[in-house]
Amino acid sequence: MSDPLVSRMRQFGTTIFAEMSALAVRTGSINLGQGFPDTDGPPAMLERAVEAIRSGANQYPPGPGVPELRQAVAEHRRRHYDLAYDPDGEVLVTVGATEAIAASVLALCEPGDEVIAFEPYYDSYAASIALAGARLVAVTLRPVQGRFTFDPDELRAAVTPRTRAILVNSPHNPTGTVFTAEELGLIAELCQERDLVAITDEVYEHLTFDGVEHIPMATLPGMRERTVMIASAGKTFSVTGWKTGWVCAPPELVRAVQTVKQFLTFTANGPWQLAVAYGLREELDWVADLRAGLEGKRDRLMSGLAAAGFEVLKPAGTYFVQTDIRPLGFTDGLELTRRLPELAGVVAIPTQVFYDHPDRGRHFVRFAFCKKDEVIDEAVTRLKRLGA
Ligand code: PMP
Ligand code: GLN
């Protein structure tokens, strides 16, 4: 039989995260590839999920999400960002940020529409845009004085009459850039001038370092009404397997996204929603400790990678570090990461797979630092073999 997969999805194959995590398991390597912590979320929040199952919260929750979580999300947005969202009509719970992104793109983009995203971009963006029959237009982030950023003229030139939306991920995976007020302002200006929707992926909102604070696009003047703000419990509470995310947006945008979402999954799982509502209300101190701990891990991994011979680019957020592999004599990150288990017993992510222009990212490799200190130290010890 010829390939049964629809043509618009054929370029996607297996995600790099699945490929590299399988490689880590197969070779017994240390996995600094796929971004997931090796320690658990807040114990009382985990207990809440267990209690919710035991107390019978096991049937379909309402389509928009359980009221407790929608209320907790709205309270969190107000307390943290001074953003007011009505839990009834402006908050929608999704199966992780991944579903929120897919449903938003499917709901808002006609076939042939263009969506701008900054490359390197999180892999699900391209697939969601392809599913919608829309076209991804990539604007490249390049290191300028050690920090990945975009050229405002390139961004401006990327907008055409077919542009429908800009996907903005800050803190940015995989570069670790946290967009400044000025960068966000440029994007916001374009959105308003050209009547575009901003779909913002803010899953790393709490994971910023060195006193840098995340600024939600919706807080910029004129942007709340045209922003679909997406977040998730996975990174905030170290529960990436819970797949509980949410959208905050004006009612007409939420209605559009929910119209699609209800036919993807109808609703998200109930017990985890109740537990995440508890987390948002009671566990933000735990999140502050996580963030402080991650900052130390970032520094630990960065100095280790530098000692191993990589050029290291310092992230202001997320739990990923970008490295330039050329000082070690390598030029192709995909080739290197496929050989890394055999060379050093470590797994990492080749950044080039997140580009429409892979040449621009060929020499970058991403390492995750959301791991125990001893795991980071052992990985670094092994990576020092590369330069030996
Ligand atoms: N966006 C980005 C930038 C991510 O790194 C991830 C991975 N956590 C997601 C979205 C997906 O989030 P979730 O697991 O909540 O679907
Ligand atoms: N967000 C995680 C990362 O970037 C992995 C997500 C996934 O496996 N799809 O590494």
Instruction: With beta carbons less than 8 A apart as the criterion, state whether 324 and 362 touch.
Output: no
**Looking at ligand 2, which residue's alpha carbon is closest to its atom 3?**
35
pLDDT per residue over 144-177, tens digit each? 999 999 999 999 999 999 999 999 999 999 999 9
| Mean pLDDT computed over 56-84 | 97
Q: Report how far apart the first and last C-alpha atoms of the chain are (Å, whole number).
A: 49
Q: Measured between alpha carbons, how far is 149 from 178 in angstroms, rounded to an integer?
A: 9
Tell me what pLDDT residue 387 has.
84
Which secondary structure element, helix H or strand E, spans residue 245, and what is its range?
strand 245-248
Grade residue 294 by pLDDT with cuts at 50, 70 and 90.
Answer: very high
Q: State the pLDDT confidence band at 378, using cuts at 50, 70 and 90.
A: very high
Of all residues in the chain, the percent with pLDDT exceeding 90 is 98
Q: What is the pLDDT of residue 297?
A: 98
- In this structure, the residue with its CA closest to atom 1 of ligand 2 is 35
Ligand sitting nearest the alpha carbon of 203: 1
Distance 192 CA to ligand 1 centre (A): 27
Pick the atom of ligand 2 nearest to 235's CA. Answer: 1
Mean pLDDT of 123-127: 96
pLDDT at 325: 98
pLDDT at 64: 97
Share of the chain above pLDDT 70, in %: 100
Tell me the per-residue pLDDT of 226-247, one tens digit each, with 9 for 90 and over: 999 999 999 999 999 999 999 9
DSSP string covering 103-161, please? HHHHHH--TT-EEEEEES--HHHHHHHHHTT-EEEEEE-EEETTEEE--HHHHHHH--T
The whole-number pLDDT of residue 13 equals: 86
Q: Which pLDDT score, from 0 to 100, does residue 127 have? A: 97
Q: 327 C-alpha to center of ligand 1: Å? A: 31
Residue-averaged pLDDT of the chain: 97
Tokens of residue 311, six digits: 């050029």
- Give the residue-averaged pLDDT of 81-96: 98
Provide the pLDDT for residue 310: 98
Q: Tens digits of per-residue pLDDT, 188-226?
A: 999 999 999 999 999 999 999 999 999 999 999 999 999
Give me the pLDDT at residue 121, please.
98
Q: Is it the case that residue 296 has pLDDT exceeding 80?
A: yes
CB-based contact 136:125 (threshold 8 Å): yes
What is the average per-residue pLDDT within 371-384?
98
Tell me, in angstroms, the distance from the centre of ligand 2 to residue 1's CA.
32
User: Residue 366's closest CA among 306, 320, 314?
Assistant: 320
Counting Cα atoms < 13 Å in the Cβ hemisphere of 205 gives 23
The pLDDT of residue 1: 82
Cα(18) to ligand 2 centroid in Å equals 9
Nearest to residue 299, comparing CAs of 312, 289, 308?
312
Which one of 17, 31, 367 would you pick to mutate in the ligand 2 pocket, going by the greatest count of ligand atoms within 8 A of its CB? 17
CA nearest neighbour of 317 among 342, 290, 344, 339: 290
CA distances from 261 to 107, 214, 364 (A): 9, 27, 35
pLDDT exceeds cutoff 90 at 249? yes
DSSP single-letter state for residue 17: H
Is the alpha carbon torsion for 212, 326, 368, 10 positive or negative?
positive
Provide mean pLDDT across the span 125-141. Answer: 98
Structure-derived torsion over alpha carbons of residues 158, 162, 163, 164, reported in degrees to the nearest 10 = 180
Residue nearest to atom 4 of ligand 2 (CA): 35
Candidates 149, 187, 195; CA nearest to 316 is 149
Q: Tell whether the model's pLDDT for residue 388 goes beyond 90.
A: no
Distance 16 CA to ligand 2 centre (A): 9
Residue 263's pLDDT band, with cuts at 50, 70 and 90, is very high
Per-residue pLDDT, averaged over 95-99, amounts to: 98
Ligand 1 site: residues with CB under 6 angstroms?
96-98, 122, 169, 173, 201, 203, 232, 234-235, 240, 243, 245
Residues with CB under 6 A from ligand 2: 15, 17, 34-35, 173
8 A C-beta contact, residue 170 and residue 178: yes
Question: Which ligand 1 atom sits closest to the C-alpha of 240?
Answer: 14
Nearest listed ligand to the Cα of residue 348: 2
- Check pLDDT > 80 for residue 26: yes
Choose one of 31, 36, 322 to mutate for the ligand 2 pocket test, by most ligand atoms within 8 angstroms of C-beta. 36
The strand pairing partners of 349, in sequence order, are: 366
CA distance 96 to 103: 11
Q: How do 114-119 and 135-140 pair as beta strands?
A: parallel
Give the per-residue pLDDT at 363.
Answer: 98
What lies within 8 Å, CB to CB, of 286 at 6+ separation is: 41, 42, 237
Q: Which residue has the tokens 């007011």?
A: 84
